[in-house]
Amino acid sequence: MRLTQRVHDQLKAHLRPGDFAVDATAGNGHDSLLLAELVGSSGRVSIIDVQAAAIDATQKRLHAAGYLEQAQFHQDNHATVLAALAKQSPGKASAIVFNLGYLPGSDKLVQTKAHHTLSALNASTQLLAPNGLLMVTAYRGHSGGADEAESIATWAGEQEALGWVIKCYDPGCDKVPLPPVLWILTPPTTAP
């Protein structure tokens, strides 16, 4: 199963109308559209990307499907926006999705950076609801991608030590170019 399909299946099983979800890296808007469909008109989706082209493509995709009303767009670094959202709505996001790397069809020099991503992930732990899902797909086949994925693997291990449940889907490191890797994280459960 492709990792994107696994992410979408998890979201479909998890999100409900009225939920709050975040697409931390909008790209071409495919995840944003699914999030908007799943949370419905009573829900809300915050959509983040540093590139105007990504925001424009995502706005057009959501507008064409009739889901623009529940979307909030933020053209900025995902670490900055997620830190602000975590202060505004701590523990409220039902799902947060990351697709790390660069915008397909754009300048490959504009890409996510490990230090920003780690800050964004730390903010996400504060924003995520107690029963939320944090899904991170890292594309390793480009310059800097493998290093970013390695940083996330270390970070995920630290979260696991704190009681988070971590599932990692890695198609293998023996392929060239390196395939993407997916982490699905859920917060620690608290005893009643």
Domain residue spans of the chain: 3-186
Measured at the alpha carbon of residue 170, what is the angle toward residues 168 and 172, in degrees to the nearest 5? 155
Could you give the 3-state DSSP secondary structure of residue 166?
strand
For 104-140, write each residue's pLDDT tens digit: 666 666 676 778 999 999 999 999 999 999 999 888 7
**CATH annotation of 3-186:** 3.40.50.150
Residue 175: count other Cβ atoms within 10 Å of its Cβ. 10
> The whole model's pTM is what?
0.91
Which residues lie below 8 Å from residue 55, measured CB to CB, with a gap of 6+? Answer: 26, 47, 49, 73, 75
For 52-62, write each residue's pLDDT tens digit: 999 999 999 99
